[in-house]
A and B are shown apart, each in its own frame.
Chain A
Amino acid sequence: MDFEDSQEEATFRSEARAWLKANVPSEDELAGLDGMARAKFWQKRKADAGWACIRWPQEFGGRDANAIQQVILGQEEAKVAAPETGVFSIGQGMAAPTLMTWADEDAKKQFLPRLASGEDIWCQLFSEPAGGSDLAALRTKAEKDGDDWIINGQKIWTSGAHYSDWGILVVRTDPSVPKHKGLSYFYVDMKSPGIEIKPIRQISGEANFNEVYFTDVRIPDSQRLGDVGQGWQVSLTTLMNERASIGAGGGGTKFSTVKKLAESVQINGKPAIEDSHVRAQLASWYVQEAGLKYTSYRTLSALSRGAIPGPENSIGKLVGAVKSQDMASFAIDLLEQQGIVRDAGADEMFGSLFQDTYMSIPGLRIAGGTDEIMANIIAERVLGLPQEPRMDKGIPFSEVPTGN
């Protein structure tokens, strides 16, 4: 058991640090670019030098690095003022691993390097109005027409659909068999005729995700991943990676910032940080934060000796999201009446950090598996508890009760 870098890790760290220091774009270089263009600029520079998607094979734009090296690079990148590259996370974190597992060599060569370099952005077309937590209840249908499939239906909660080049798509190819058996998995050009994208406004005021309508959209059969009817199995590859890649959220709302806030405001005429209730509360959040950090270290240690990441990764989002929500709520309370102000320019030290977290976390507790689904995953796949009895098992999808 050792928490320090090994010799090899230390060498890698200093190499990464040196490259980042020399190459992180200056404000001059980024002048006039919007967020997307900044992300693409930085991603391209990293990819050209072999510092993008470093765990991928070299032929697809990576450098065959290991899990620990990826973490070290992440730690070092967090220390420099590099542009935010979250727009690539669905493509690199979910679509790419699915392509790597299920696509043929030509498709991998065509798409993976462009994913690594940030030239292409991908979105995930899974959830539907009728299928969220019960994803396999989705109804968007695909019908074979020669060498093509014709898609009709509607997807929802699609992050970044409006700026994506490609999407990964699960559809129903056979409603006459039980629901998990009638699905197939494709990738689709988001500029295809018949795709219509409508933004959804969130309670945070932003519109990060969309409804995506498909009307007679044609997809060549060559863009299918896995066999016809194997879509659920392919989806699981994506979903496993989704759970690993959605972070705890909350960004800057963490122990150190809330503690800093408690040092700057007063309770009963004394700094709030001297209040025993505040101290106890902060301590239990620290315990959670440290517990999550060291849990990820344990996962890494397991990965580095070749283990496969398991469903226990669901813990990060399950614990982290609600913790951020509670901390934001607590921080707003500490600010008293001033706490309700949500104006990035109103507070010198924190901007609208806590208010933004307060408004964004409800979405994170639902995205990529609700808290309740995450708890079910832990109960069923980690602890081995039985599923609830279900009404849709073994019967054709077309006969499953829908409430309509």
Chain B
Amino acid sequence: MNFEFGEEQNLLRDQARGFLTDNCPPAVVRRVLEGEELYAADLWQKIVEMGWTAVVIPEEYGGLGLSYLELVVIAEELGRACAPVPFGSSVYLATEALLAAGNETQKGQWLPKLAAGEAIGSFAYAEGNGQTSAASLQTRFEGGKLSGHKAVVADAQISQLMIVAARSASGDGASLYLVPTDQEGVSFEPVKTLDPATNHANVSFSGASAELLGSEGAGWALLEQLLDGAAVLYAWEQLGGSDRCLEMAKDYAMGRYAFGRPIASYQAIKHKLANMYVKNTLARSNAYFGAWALNTGADELPLAAATARVGSTEAYYFSSKENIQTHGGMGYTWEFDCQFYYRRSKVLAVTIGSEGVWQEKLIQASAQADVA
């Protein structure tokens, strides 16, 4: 048993952190948060040049052919930086969907573009308030055309390729479809969200051209499988943000004096930060197991993914709110950066299903895994 990252991954982490310190300082997050840009296109271009969009794509499709252990390291660093880029949508979801279910033509057509940053991918399955299920899907595919609405889709508007879950006549009641966005039948309506440093839109399909991805009528099972993988990757991104919150809170508490001493010397603050550390540490350990399960394709993946996802979601929420609290009134001001993480923690918490959804998946998976 060896439960640590190897030399290559540690080097990659140092490199990624240095890169993001230079290219994604808080000013970049703030620029997107406050401005009209949908995402930091300049940063995204540099990320593409670093090869981060190509990490797990096989070399034959223009990728680097590396493992998920490299990808989770990058995910964590992007989370720390609160990077305003479509990495999760394009890499954890759209690219993974093609890798898992694409036929040779589809892979040959899209993976090199995703790897080289010539295309951004997005992933649409939710259709409105509450949890979307195979049975509740309204979007339908008939005669080669897709019709319906998807709600609050991350990065839809900036994507060239969408993966869309739609109603199917057979099987589990759903199928996944590849939908190029540059066509008349696809339209976007931007939505305001908790985190203006991310971009989301409602999407309407009216007779949009689409092609089946994977087997007809097996879409929901495929979706669940994709979400398990994405849950591990998002868990690492969340963990990065959560750890950064602890650092920010610590730095502030060390420098802020009240009643003649640093507030970091008061047990009320120390215990708060110790709690953040404990939650982050447990979340990290679960994320390690998730990374291992994803990387080896272990049978434990559904349970490991749900465990990692719930742990990181809970830790990030806690750290981001208590980071503001530790900063006192300053933490609540627009001018401080605490808000970035409080916003992002909630956006990431619901992006592929809320904590409650993943707690339910965890219990279902634990029955399969026969937990001792």
Contact = CB atoms under 8 A, between A and B. Distances in A.
A256 interface: yes
Nearest to B287: A294
B289 interface: yes
Interface in A134-150: none
Interface residues of B, number: 49
Given A291-B285, A295-B285, A389-B261, A375 B1 contact: no
Contact of B366 (A68, A259, A378): A259
B288 A387 contact: no
B292 interface: yes
B2 A385 contact: no
Contacts of A297: 1, 3, 285
A256 B277 CA distance: 27
Given A287-B310, A388-B267, A4 B1 contact: yes
A375 to B, nearest CB: 4
B340 to A, nearest CB: 22
A319 B278 CA distance: 8
A291 B270 contact: no
B333 interface: no
Contacts of B254: 385-386
B2 A276 contact: no
B277 A1 contact: no
Contacts of A4: 1
Contact of B282 (A2, A295, A379): A295
Interface string B251-266: 0011000000110111
B356 A378 contact: no
Interface stretch (A176-184, A201-209, A278-286, A324-332): A278-286
A186 B94 CA distance: 66
Contact of B2 (A1, A280, A287, A315): A1
A283 B282 contact: no
B284 to A, nearest CB: 8
Contact of A280 (B281, B295, B359, B372): B359
B12 to A, nearest CB: 14
Nearest to A319: B278
A196 B264 CA distance: 44
A59 interface: no
Contacts of A259: 366, 371
A291 B267 contact: no
B274 A378 contact: yes
Contact of A282 (B4, B5, B6, B363): B363
Interface stretch (A14-22, A226-234, A298-306, A345-353): A298-306
A99 to B, nearest CB: 30
B3 A382 contact: no
A312 interface: yes
A101 B254 CA distance: 36
A2 B291 CA distance: 10
Interface in A252-309: 255-256, 259, 276, 279-280, 282-284, 286-288, 290-295, 297-298, 300-302, 304-305
A302 B1 CA distance: 11
A294 B3 contact: yes
Given A3-B3, A297-B3, A298-B3, A375 B274 contact: yes
Interface in B331-363: 356, 358-360, 362-363
B275 interface: yes
A287 B286 contact: yes
A3 B289 contact: yes
Contacts of A256: 371-372
Contacts of B283: 291
B303 to A, nearest CB: 9
Given A283-B310, A286-B366, A300 B274 contact: no
Contact of A301 (B3, B270, B289): B3
Contacts of A298: 3-4, 285, 288
A376 B270 contact: yes
A95 interface: no
A255 B3 contact: no
Contacts of B227: none
A375 B275 contact: yes
Which residue, A279, A312, A376, has most C-beta atoms of chain B within 10 A? Answer: A279
Interface string B48-75: 0000000000000000000001000000
A341 B273 CA distance: 39
A334 to B, nearest CB: 15
Contact of A382 (B264, B275, B277, B306): B277
B113 interface: no
B353 to A, nearest CB: 13
A284 B310 contact: yes
B1 A291 contact: no
A9 B3 CA distance: 14
B314 interface: yes
B255 to A, nearest CB: 12
Contacts of A279: 359-360, 363
B282 to A, nearest CB: 3
A404 interface: no
B282 A3 contact: no
A305 B2 CA distance: 10
Interface of A: 1-6, 9, 68, 255-256, 259, 276, 279-280, 282-284, 286-288, 290-295, 297-298, 300-302, 304-305, 312, 315, 318-319, 372, 375-376, 378-380, 382-383, 385-389
Given A2-B1, A68-B1, A388-B265, 12 more contacts: A2-B2, A3-B3, A256-B372, A276-B356, A283-B306, A284-B310, A291-B311, A292-B285, A378-B277, A379-B267, A383-B277, A385-B253
21 contacts: A1-B5, A1-B292, A2-B292, A3-B289, A256-B371, A283-B360, A288-B282, A291-B281, A291-B282, A294-B3, A294-B289, A295-B282, A297-B3, A298-B285, A319-B278, A319-B282, A372-B267, A376-B270, A380-B270, A383-B277, A388-B265
